[in-house]
């Protein structure tokens, strides 16, 4: 390990030993991989896939943690409401639509082979949200109606299929579905995988979902508030072994559960061990969420032979064309019924 970045020059072995003792007594870990400059080495392939839901299920009330027995009994897919998921059964490709009210069924290949309950510092979490204490996202009054699409739909004569801009960014293959790439970087039921690459000046995080790439500038200033980008403007700095990242200037059409371009996030990346990064994020946007809220997600290292694969979201995807064309036909038939001539 090189100690250049910490002001250590050529000294006697006794002095260096004393400095090393002081170095690791400041909260820096001695048992994690490091880059030549002494910073933690986050590089590799990681996943934050988990069966722990973002918001806490009612049965856990204010309990942040579940018991080991409860974690062992947790079923794959249960956090996504896929309560009828089976591990051995192959679904009939020629099956019809499920009866109304029946649970959704997916094959096990969509998920890890067994349920993984998010575990941080030995604690099995009941939800990814840890603050507020009830594990729920604290929406402000009318907070769910402030995002770009909701504001557009509130205009007279505007309908949800009038144009592509009125469809979610994930549906348009502009961003990963839900908030996999972030911020906040929260998992979904599949493809929640990431590659991290570091240099002295940047940290790159590429999400497998739609291959979104976040470029985090280190020890820099934020760009002008008029510049809005997908995934926002992220600037990071080191606090000991923890990478702290602040993001603002998020594109107004990017929304997480109703957030707008005014959202500001702070993320903390810290290594619990060589095999796990603990990711923590706090979201601030009072007009939407009322108060700040915080979530924690474990990111587990995948074996070295794993790869990030192309996610060809638009290849053969006619969903947007089909949806908008269908809306035009509905308008056509409605006009004919109103005026048969």
> Sign (positive/negative) of CA torsion 99, 317, 162, 335?
negative
CA distance 99 to 330: 25
What does DSSP assign to residue 315? T
pLDDT bracket for residue 108 (50, 70, 90): low
DSSP string, 111-165: S-SS----EETTEEES-SEEESTT-S--PPTTGGG-SHHHHHHTSTT--TTSSGG
pLDDT value, residue 312: 85
pTM passes above 0.95? no
Q: List pLDDT tens digits, range 215-234.
A: 999 999 999 999 999 999 99
Which secondary-structure segment (H or E) carries 330? Answer: helix 319-338
pLDDT value, residue 86: 47
Q: List pLDDT tens digits, range 48-70.
A: 999 899 999 999 999 999 999 99
Domain ranges of the chain: 4-30, 38-48+133-341
pLDDT bracket for residue 125 (50, 70, 90): very high
CA distance 72 to 114: 10
Q: Average pLDDT of the chain? A: 85
Question: Which phi and psi (to 5°) does residue 120 adopt?
Answer: -130, 125
- CA distance readout (Å), 136 to 117, 142, 177, 258: 18, 16, 21, 14
Report, at the CATH architecture level, how domain 38-48+133-341 is classified.
Beta Barrel (2.40)
3-state secondary structure of 224: coil
Does the structure show a pLDDT above 90 at 252? yes
pLDDT bracket for residue 163 (50, 70, 90): very high
Q: List pLDDT tens digits, range 130-144.
A: 999 999 999 999 888
């Amino acid at each position: 390990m090189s100690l250049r970045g910490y002001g250590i020059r050529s000294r006697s072995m006794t002095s260096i030993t004393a400095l090393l003792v002081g170095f690791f007594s400041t909260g820096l870990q001695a048992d994690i991989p490091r880059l030549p400059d002494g910073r933690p080495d986050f590089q590799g392939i990681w996943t934050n896939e988990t069966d722990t839901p973002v918001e806490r299920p009612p049965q856990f009330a204010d309990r942040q943690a579940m018991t080991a027995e409860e974690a062992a009994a947790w079923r794959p897919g249960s956090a996504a409401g896929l309560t009828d998921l089976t591990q051995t059964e192959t679904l009939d490709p020629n099956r019809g639509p499920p009866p109304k009210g029946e649970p959704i069924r997916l094959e096990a290949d969509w998920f890890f082979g067994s349920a993984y309950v998010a575990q941080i510092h030995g604690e099995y979490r009941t939800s990814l949200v840890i603050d507020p204490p009830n594990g729920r996202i604290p929406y402000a009054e009318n907070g769910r109606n402030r995002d770009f699409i909701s504001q557009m739909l509130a205009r007279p004569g505007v309908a949800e299929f009038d144009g592509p801009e009125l469809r979610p960014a994930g549906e348009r293959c502009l961003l990963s579905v839900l908030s996999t790439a972030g911020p906040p970087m929260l998992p979904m039921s599949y493809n929640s995988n990431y590659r991290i690459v570091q240099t002295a000046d940047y940290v790159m995080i590429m999400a497998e979902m739609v291959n979104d790439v976040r470029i985090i500038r280190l020890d820099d200033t934020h760009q002008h508030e008029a510049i809005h980008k997908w995934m926002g403007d992220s600037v990071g700095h080191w606090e000991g072994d923890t990478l702290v990242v602040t993001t603002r200037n998020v594109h107004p059409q990017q929304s997480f559960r109703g957030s707008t371009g005014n959202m500001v996030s702070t993320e903390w990346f810290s290594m619990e061990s060589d095999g796990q990064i603990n990711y923590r994020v706090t979201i601030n946007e009072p007009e939407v969420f009322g108060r700040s809220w915080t979530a924690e997600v474990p990111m587990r290292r995948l074996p070295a032979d794993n790869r990030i694969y192309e996610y060809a979201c638009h290849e053969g995807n006619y969903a947007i064309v089909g949806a908008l064309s269908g809306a035009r036909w509905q308008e056509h038939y409605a006009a004919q019924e109103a005026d048969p001539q």
